[in-house]
Amino acid sequence: MTANAELQTLINAWLKQLKQRDLSSHTVEAYQRDVTQFIDFLAGHYEQEVNPASFDTLKAMDVRSFLAKRREQETTQSRSLARSLSGLRSFTLYLSEKDYPVSSAFKIVKSPRIPKSLPRPMSQNDALQMIALAGDVSSRPWENLRNQALLVLIYGCGLRISEALDLSYGERPKPDNVSVRITGKGKKQRDAPILPLIADAIQQYIKAAPFDFKDDDPLFRGVKGGRFSARQVQMIV
Distance CA 137, CA 235 (A): 10
pLDDT band at 114 (very low <50, low <70, confident <90, very high): low
Mean predicted lDDT score pLDDT of the chain: 84
- Within this chain, domains 5-108 and 124-236 share the same CATH topology: no
SS3 call for 100: coil
Domain residue ranges of the chain, discontinuous segments joined by + = 5-108, 124-236
Specify the pTM: 0.49
User: Taking residues 147-163, what's their average pLDDT?
Assistant: 89
DSSP conformational letter for 166: T
Model pLDDT, residue 112: 66
Q: What does the buried/exposed string (b/e) look like for 34-50 if buried means 16 or more CB atoms within 10 Å of the residue's CB? A: bbebbbebbbeeeeeeb
Domain 124-236 sits in CATH 1.10.443.10: yes
Q: pLDDT tens for residues 6-39? A: 999 999 999 999 888 777 788 889 899 999 999 9
Classify domain 5-108 by CATH number. Answer: 1.10.150.130
Residue 109 has pLDDT above 70, yes or no: yes
CB 147: neighbour CB atoms within 10 A?
A: 25
Q: pLDDT tens for residues 172-222? A: 988 887 788 888 777 788 888 888 889 999 999 999 999 999 999 999 999
